Every structure is written in structure tokens, then in C-alpha cells.
Amino acid sequence: MRIVKSKSWEAFEIGREKEVWGCNKKRYRNWKIGERLLFFIENNGVAVAEIRSEQFLSNEVFWKEDLYPNRIRFACFDVYKGKEGSELQASIKKILKEGYGPTYGTMILFGTKIPDELEKEIERIL
């Protein structure tokens, strides 16, 4: 399981529609097809997805903010918005903070694989 952050619902919805997520860094190199992927959308959303491709490069423009040429394909299964999304995001962050410590945010920032024991706890609340 890995977590990525979307700064806006608009950016997430574009990625969801295209089934593609991107960034400017080559951080998806070690990501595996079939891994669970969680999106933290703004401060009030969580989406549950699965990685469907290895990292690839693309010059196709989807997002207005930037090109984000390093990409992966994903399939989205569930989206939690509003109060439900805020509460779920807070609960996941609490699990990460308690299990990984105060630097848990680096796992999100760098897309680090969530340790198995924490992944199991997160799966229980999804």
C-alpha cells in the first residue's frame, strides 16, 4: 500500500477519468502492479485504488498545473468525500503516526510502501 496526495479534487478527478497519476520526480520506479494505492484528496477525501502499470513517461498534458511526465496507471474503486472522507483521512493519519512516528508524512511525500502491519490496520477501517 502506498499513499499519494492530491492538492485538489479537480486534479484527482482528471487522473481518475484518465486512470493516470503523475509527478515530476521518478518516484514510481519501485511501485508494483497490483499494489493498493490510497489518495488523500485535499483535507476531506480518500480514494482507494490499485496500481495497474509500471512507471512510464508521457508528454500528454492532462493537468493545468504542470506536465507531471512520470506516470502510473491506476483503477479507482472507492471514493470517500466530505465528513466521511475527512474522518477516514484523519483515522489513517493517526494509524500512520502511531505506528511510524511523527515523521509519517515522509511516507506520503515520497510514496514509500506502508509497512505490512500498518497496512493491515488501515485495511480494517476501509
Note the pLDDT of residue 40. Answer: 98
Spatial CB neighbours of 46, under 8 Å, sequence gap ≥ 6: 38, 39, 40, 79, 80, 85, 88, 89, 92
Where do the domains of the chain lie?
2-114
Residue-wise pLDDT tens digits, 85-122: 999 999 999 999 999 999 999 999 999 999 999 999 99
Reported as a single tens digit per residue, the pLDDT across 23-49 is 999 999 999 999 999 999 999 999 999
Q: How far apart are CA 52 and CA 31, in angstroms?
A: 10
What pLDDT digit, counting tens, does each position of 48-59 carry?
999 999 999 999
- Topology of domain 2-114, CATH: ph1033 like fold (3.10.590)
The overall average pLDDT reported for the chain is 96
SS3 32: coil
Hey, what's the cell of 12?
484527482
pLDDT band at 16 (very low <50, low <70, confident <90, very high): very high
Report the percentage of the chain scoring pLDDT > 70. Answer: 100
